[in-house]
Structure 1
Amino acid sequence: MRAMLRTVNRVLIGVVGLVLVVLGGSVLAVGLGAPSPSWWIHDDRHDVLLSDSERTHWKDSGWWWPVVIAVLAVLLLLVLWWLTAVLRRRRLAEVLVDTGDGAGALLRGRALQSVLARETSELDGVSDARVQLTGRRTAPEARVKLRLEPHVDPATALHQLTTEALAHARNSAGLASLPAEVRMRAVKHGEQRVS
């Protein structure tokens, strides 16, 4: 679901950006006096966007306004869906911890994030770790960004992360699972002169 949402985000932003650049660039070029292309809706820099005849052309058709309203309503629903999907990916404020008595307790998401980041930073060869919790409070997910020292094998670092830091966080919060998306980068050290 997250990968699909990320793809939809990128495609939607790319299409909107391309349309805005083409339309905005064309309007700017025609407005500055460049000859308008044959496919463009304006003839010259003094032309209006919609003439009186274009604005009133479909006025007497019974289907026109319901179609316009339906298209705008669908666009509004799509934009609202996209906004809620983007906003839901923010940090998780709290995690529901199973206390075993059926009541449960709430754990601050930032507290779990900081403990997980601190424990991950202490793993062998990890120079820096950043953790973000997403998902629902009953089913959190972790996004972990690691900066590894050059001598560390990424597979070993990933194994240590899953068997130590993530396992401790999962067990301490009483979670059935704690899925994680892990991104690793190597630390680049500058050249040093040895004398």
Structure 2
Amino acid sequence: MLKGVNRVLLGIVGLVLVVLGGSVLATGLGVPAPSWWPYDGRHDVLLDEAERTRWRDEGWWWPAVIAVLAVLVLLSLWWLLAVLRRRRPAEVLLDTGDDEGASLEGRALEQALAEEASHLDGVDRADVLLTGRRSTPGTRIRLRLHPRTDPAATLRALTEGPLTHARDSAGLPALPAETRLQAVKHRPERVI
């Protein structure tokens, strides 16, 4: 979802900048501007002194400017942190039973789960992504199923097989999974 939000925000900002910059450039090159456009000639400035100082003496102006800028800074920081935040744990903490513990690389657990899940009956391909924290990981699993595969049986086999093996071998109390099933695209069958 974050990728979609990023693309939409960047698209809107880019479109606004291209339209404004292009219109100022076109007016500067001599293209006639509409009557409502504030910049109307090659030697005109975007903001003259009267426009820049018009609201300076109003009591609400500076608090409003500071509030808008503060909100923009906070939204920008939130967006930056959301983009930089790790989506998956790099390692999973294992309970070894001796109060020492160990760690397992997250990608290794993902690959092992995906490999075992792809060998289930009716599964063409399995993709696994770890989520959550190092001590309490979860998984997102996407299974691509062959046609005429029973989804309920596949989910039951996934829960009893790969997920249970991964949870038990890592010594985790639980390994929640969000599973998405998708049918493999295939060519139409000819009926005779």
For residue 47 of structure 1, report the CA deviation from its aligned partner.
4.7
Q: Name structure 1 gaps, 5 residues minimum.
A: 1-5
The correspondence for 1:160, drawn from 151, 157, 162, is: 157
Equivalent position of 1:185 in the other structure: 182
Equivalent position of 1:3 in the other structure: none
Q: 1:50 to 1:157 in 2, by over 3 A?
A: farther
Structure-1-length-normalised TM-score: 0.76
CA contact (8 A) 1:30 1:36 kept: no
Structure-2-length-normalised TM-score: 0.77
Which letter maps to 2:8? G
Aligned length in residues? 187
The correspondence for 1:138, drawn from 135, 158, 182, is: 135
The correspondence for 1:106, drawn from 100, 103, 127, is: 103
CA contact (8 A) 2:89 2:131 kept: yes
Report the aligned-residue RMSD: 3.2
Q: Provide, for residues 49-98 of structure 1, a one-character-per-residue CA deviation record: whole Å limited to 9, x for no partner.
A: 32222223344557645543443233222222222233334332100112
Equivalent position of 2:72 in the other structure: 75
Q: Name structure 2 gaps, 5 residues minimum.
A: none
Q: Provide, for residues 21-58 of structure 1, a one-character-per-residue CA deviation record: whole Å limited to 9, x for no partner.
A: 256335535644364374x5444576543222222334
For residue 140 of structure 1, report the CA deviation from its aligned partner.
1.1
The correspondence for 1:28, drawn from 13, 16, 22, is: 22
Q: 1:71 to 1:145 in 2, by over 3 A?
A: same
Which letter maps to 1:17? G
How much identity, in percent, do the aligned residues show? Answer: 57
Which moved further from structure 2: 115-124 or 10-19?
10-19
CA contact (8 A) 1:31 1:45 kept: no
Inter-partner Cα distance in structure 2 for 1:139 and 1:171: 14
Q: 1:133 to 1:49 in 2, by over 3 A?
A: farther
CA contact (8 A) 2:88 2:133 kept: no
Which letter maps to 2:118? S
